Structures are given as C-alpha cells and as structure tokens.
C-alpha cells in the first residue's frame, strides 16, 4: 500500500514539474522571440536602404528579465527531482 502511494506521488510530482517547466519555457521563448524581432527591426532601420523615421526599440531585454521568473523554474525542477527520489524509494522498498 505504501509503495503504491509513493509511486502515485512520484507520478504527480513529475506531471506538476513538467507542466511548470513547459509553461516557463514557453514564456521565455516568447520573450526571446520578441527581443530578437526588435533587434532585427533596429538593424534594418539602420541600413542605408531604409527610408523614413528610425524608431529605437530600447529596453527589449526587460521582457526577457520579466519572463524568467526563476522561482517557477526552481519549483519545476524541485518537483522533477522529488519525483525521481520518490521513484527510487519505491524501488528500494519493493526490492527490500
């Protein structure tokens, strides 16, 4: 009974950790994409063939800093590590 409970907790921890990390990675990639696009626009406006006003898209790195949310990344990794530890414990208990 206890071994099954530990296996269930390991699976739940794995699911929660994976979901948190997937959410954070999506946010970080979105912010990096925005920054790369802003950089590309700035470079194109500085090229000699550009006509019209030049708009400086500064502070785009603030979007990346905002998207990082390191607490959620750490939480996701903690859940995944807990899942691995719980799985190891259940294996040890099953073979004891």
How many contiguous H segments (helices) and E segments (strands) does the chain have? 3, 0
pTM attached to this predicted model: 0.68
DSSP assignments along 2-40, one per residue: HHHHHHHHHHHHHHHHHHHHHHHHHHHHHHHHHHHHHHH
Q: Report which of residues 73 and 54 the model is more confident about.
A: 73
Compare 35 and 49 and report the one with higher pLDDT. 35
Q: How many domains are there within the chain?
A: 1
From residue 13, alpha-carbon distances to 17, 34, 39, 79, 87 in Å are: 6, 32, 39, 5, 10
Whether residue 66 contacts residue 31, with contact meaning beta carbons closer than 8 Å, is answered with yes
What share of the chain has pLDDT > 70, as a percent?
88
Per the CB < 8 A criterion, the answer to whether 87 and 7 are in contact is yes
- Domain containing 22 equals 2-95
pLDDT value at position 19? 93
User: What pLDDT, on the 0 to 100 scale, is given for residue 56?
Assistant: 66
Q: In the prediction, which pLDDT does 17 show?
A: 92
Give the per-residue pLDDT at 82.
Answer: 93
H/E element, 53: none
């Amino acid at each position: 009974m206890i071994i099954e409970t530990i296996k269930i907790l390991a699976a739940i921890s794995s699911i929660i950790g994976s979901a948190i990390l997937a959410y954070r990675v999506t946010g970080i990639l979105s912010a990096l994409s925005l920054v790369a696009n802003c950089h590309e626009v700035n470079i194109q406006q500085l090229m000699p063939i550009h006509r019209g006003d030049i708009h400086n898209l500064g502070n785009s790195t603030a979007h990346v800093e905002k998207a990082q949310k390191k607490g959620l990344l750490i939480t996701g990794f903690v859940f995944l590590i807990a899942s691995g530890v719980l799985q190891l414990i259940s294996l040890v208990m099953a073979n004891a």
